Amino acid sequence: MVETDACPYAGLNILDLSQGIAGPYCAALLGQQGAKVIKVEPPAGDWIRLMGGGKEGMSALAVVNNLGKRSICIDATQTEGRALILAMAQRADVLVENFRPGVMTKLGLDYAKLAASNPRIIYLSISGFGESGPYAHKPATDSVLQAMAGMALANRDAAGQPRRFSIMVPDTATALYAAQCVGAALYARDAQPNRSGRGRHVQVSLAECCAAFQAGPILDDFLFAGEFKPPITVPAGVFATRDGHVVLATLRETMWQGLCRALEREEWLAEPRFATAALRARVGEEINRQVAAVIAGRDTSVWAALFDQHDVLFAPVQGYAALREDPQMRHMGYFGETDQTPYGKLPLPRTPGSVRSGTLPSAPRAGEHTREILREFGYSAEDIDAMTRSGVVSHVEPAAI
């Protein structure tokens, strides 16, 4: 029962033709919940393998976005390569692709072609801006979407300079929305009382996912255009301590009262201008300045003890190394390990909601499972050798750590 509950997608076959982050991470999430994922890469491998450094094509992003998959390298520019992908798609429950609109049609691998012989297939297309329109064929990257979708401006510094988030927000958010859409499509196919048993073409774009992800700020921008926009809470923000930084927020009156006591500024409780959250919002900059001046005088550990004592909403600002060793993260088992070629053991966060025990699956090298997968599809050793010689497929030998 535990194994079934932990692997709701057990028995599903995913064919992942996507590259980069959004599509591969979506497929990896489905795989972490039990699906079998075959990653189809071009002969040179997924381009993400070259981004950000790393060894043997195993960059950090290549690892985390392909955990648990098997990889086959196929040259889709060759007729035989396209025929091979088409044959593999006949057994797939879900196909994931993120080429620019029209590319899959040119390859003869579009939804209409595949659904004609495999009507149950869920065909997920991830694009930058959508399947049509003036931006449909515009190249889209995480940085481009952060700029276009308002994220860089929302993350502007105190001087008003737009800044890109250093983490891949558009790609990651799109992967999460896409995985949810695939789950809904699978439910409609298999679990609804009036299920048809047919698949569907699911289309999502980075642009629409970025908009949906920012729905609250976008509505705020509309409602308060040209007017004073009160902050959500005062005080709030990042404050420097004597030896680090803390984040503070006060969501309720009791939190404000607790903060005043922790800061030893109980006179603020009697200040008429600070009497309500609405009034504090009007003088938010002044309050934040006064809070900052007080917090700067003590170490983070001292404030942590005081804030805990007075039930203040806070957290010390820490890096990833501290996060991995954080006592709460360790207690909950949020991190696991994977035995990853060519590095050995690597610490990685577990997929939320998954079983918090055991070793995490590793990510494949490009073409690591080419021969194994072809044998499963009925190709003989002679067939595989011939395809290898002609460049239709390529492979690397499995490597032990």
The pLDDT of residue 4 is above 60: no
Which tokens in the block code for residue 163? Answer: 């800044």
| For residues 13-23, average pLDDT | 97
Pick the last residue of a domain from 257, 289, 318: 318
In this predicted structure, the answer to whether residue 3 has a pLDDT above a threshold of 60 is: no
Residue 341 maps to a domain: yes
Residue 7's pLDDT is what?
86
Write down the pLDDT at residue 399.
56
Percent of the chain with pLDDT over 70: 98
Spatial distance between the Cα atoms of 307 and 315, rounded to a whole number of angstroms: 9
Domain shared by 307 and 267, yes or no: yes
What pLDDT, on a 0 to 100 scale, did the predictor assign at position 187? 93
Looking at the structure, tell me whether residues 282 and 369 fall in a common domain. no
327-340: buried (b, 16+ CB within 10 Å) or exposed (e) per residue? eeeeeeeebbebeb
Same structural domain for residues 242 and 283?
Answer: yes
286 and 338 share one domain: no
**Rounded distance between C-alpha atoms, residue 47 and residue 131, angstroms:** 22
Q: Are residues 242 and 205 in the same domain?
A: no
Helix axes 215-223, 206-213, angle to 10 degrees: 70
Backbone φ and ψ for 356, nearest 5 degrees, come out as -100, 50
Give the per-residue pLDDT at 353.
86
State the pLDDT at residue 229: 80
Report the CATH number at residue 240: 3.30.1540.10
Find all residues with CB under 8 Å of 33, minimum gap 6, and list them. Answer: 6, 7, 8, 9, 351, 354
pLDDT score for 193? 76
- 60, 81, 143: which is closest to 392 by C-alpha? 81
Average pLDDT over residues 23-50: 96
**Residue 234: DSSP 8-state:** S
For residue 175, with 0-12 CB atoms within 10 Å meaning exposed, 13-18 middle and 19 or more buried, which class applies? buried
Give one DSSP letter per residue of 59-78, joined into a string.
-HHHHHTSTT-EEEEE-TTS
Query: Is 367 a member of any domain?
Result: yes
Whether 226 is covered by a domain: the verdict is no
**Confidence tier at 110 by pLDDT (50, 70, 90):** very high
What does the pLDDT look like over 55-83, one tens digit per residue?
A: 999 999 999 999 999 999 999 999 999 99
Is residue 105 over pLDDT 50? yes
Region of poorest pLDDT, from 4-8, 317-321, 361-365: 4-8
**327 domain-assigned:** no
pLDDT for position 301:
96
Return the pLDDT at 401: 40
H helix runs in 283-343, sequence order: 284-295, 300-309, 320-325, 327-332
Here the CATH number for the domain that contains residue 66 is 3.40.50.10540
Mean pLDDT of 201-230: 93
Cis amide linkage into residue 235, ω under 30° from 0: yes
Indicate if 210 and 68 belong to the same structural domain.
yes
Whether residue 202 is predicted with pLDDT greater than 80 in this model: the reply is yes
- Flag whether 224 is in a domain: no
Confidence class of residue 400 from pLDDT cuts 50, 70 and 90? Answer: very low
Mean pLDDT, range 113-129, rounded to an integer? 97
- Per the prediction, the chain carries an average pLDDT of 94
Residue 163 resides in a domain: yes
- Shared domain for 106 and 246, answered yes or no, is no
Q: Is the pLDDT of residue 398 over 90?
A: no
Of the listed ranges 3-7, 15-19, 217-221, 348-352, the one predicted with least confidence: 3-7
Give the structural domain span for 102: 2-216+334-394
* Percentage of the chain lying above the pLDDT 90 cut: 89
Q: Is residue 261 part of a domain?
A: yes
Across 82-139, the runs of DSSP E, i.e. the strands, are: 94-97, 122-127
3-class SS string, 349-389: ECCCCCCCCCCECCCCCCCCCHHHHHHHCCCCHHHHHHHHH
In this predicted structure, what is the pLDDT of residue 231?
A: 84
Assign 2 a pLDDT band (cuts: 50, 70, 90): very low
In a domain, residue 223? The reply is no
Residue 95 and residue 330: Cα distance in Å, rounded?
A: 36
Number of structural domains found in the chain = 2
| pLDDT-wise least confident of 55-59, 156-160, 236-240, 353-357 | 353-357
**DSSP notation for 169-214:** HHHHHHHHHHHHHHHHHHHHHHTSTT-----EEEEEEHHHHHHHHT
Mean pLDDT lowest among 105-119, 183-197, 272-286: 183-197
Average pLDDT over residues 207-231: 92
CA angle 160, 165, 171 (to 5 degrees): 140
Q: Do 27 and 129 belong to one domain?
A: yes
User: How far, in Å, CA of 251 to CA of 236, rounded?
Assistant: 9
The pTM for the full model equals 0.92
CA–CA dist 12, 91 (Å, integer) = 10
Helical pair 300-309 and 253-262, crossing angle rounded to 10 deg: 130
Same-domain check for residues 266 and 340: no
**DSSP assignment letter at 283:** T
* Cα separation values, 106 from 27, 116, 121, 297, Å: 23, 17, 20, 65
**Burial state string for 26-57 with b = 16 or more CB within 10 A and e = fewer than 16:** bbbbbbbbbbbbbbbbbbebbebbeeeebeeb
- The residue among 6 and 234 whose pLDDT is bigger is 234
Report the SS3 class of residue 314: strand
Task: Let me know whether 199 and 110 are in one domain.
Answer: yes
- Mean pLDDT is lowest, of 219-233, 325-339, 340-354, 374-388, for 219-233
Q: Tell me, yes or no, whether 272 and 157 share the same domain.
A: no
Q: Which helix (H) or strand (E) holds 38?
A: strand 36-41
The CA distance from 238 to 247, in Å, is 5
CA atoms 74, 77, 80, 83: torsion sign: positive
Q: In the structure, what pLDDT confidence band is assigned to residue 5 with cuts at 50, 70 and 90?
A: low
Q: Under a CB-based contact definition with an 8 Å cutoff, are residues 116 and 198 in contact?
A: no
Least confident interval from 20-24, 82-86, 251-255: 251-255
Residues 19 and 54 placed together within one structural domain of the fold? yes
For tokens 């050793």, name the residue.
Answer: 381
